[in-house]
Amino acid sequence: MLMKLVTKQFGEIEFSKDLLVNFPKGLIGFEDCHRFVVINDEDYEPFRWLITVDDEEIGFPVLNPFLVAPEYGKELPDRLVKRLFSSDELIDLFCVVTINGEGGKVTVNLKSPIIINYEDKTGEQLILTSEELPVAMPIS
């Protein structure tokens, strides 16, 4: 079944309902948004967009944190690292990007990664305990 969504970033998009990812707890600051879709657009690569279907005004550019912080795995809980590199689960790890962050720079939040399990279509946002991880690491 196809769904339509009007987004601020892409205008009207159509996607298959089976691409919806459910975030039972929402995202930090957006706890009322539970259903999201991951949008890949080659014009924005390596960024992707995490857009909620619960509020068409809300969407986040996201990025695989290993692209900007190759040692990021050392900061993740062991159980998550095992899941990421296991062939048993199809999961993705993203961090939210702020386009006009601190000082007008593009920044990435390494402190609160988002995990998406494509098999059971669920997602969650973690808050990592490491004091080393920035909430706004400049990437531009």
Token pair of 81 as six digits: 């690292």
Tens digits of residue pLDDT in 85-101: 777 778 999 999 998 75
Q: What is the pTM of this model?
A: 0.90
Residue 102: per-residue pLDDT? 60
134/99: higher pLDDT? 134
Which of 52, 70, 71, 50 shows the shortest CA–CA distance to 61? Answer: 50
The amino acid present at 10, given as its one-letter code, is F
Nearest-angstrom CA–CA distance, 140 and 130:
23
| Predicted confidence band of residue 9 (pLDDT cuts 50, 70, 90) | confident
Nearest-angstrom CA–CA distance, 108 and 119:
26
Q: Mean of the pLDDT values across residues 36-61? A: 92
Nearest-angstrom CA–CA distance, 18 and 2:
9
| pLDDT of 74 over the 80 cut | yes
Cα 52 off chain centre by: 11
| Predicted confidence band of residue 103 (pLDDT cuts 50, 70, 90) | low
Domains and CATH numbers, the chain: 2-138 (2.30.290.10)
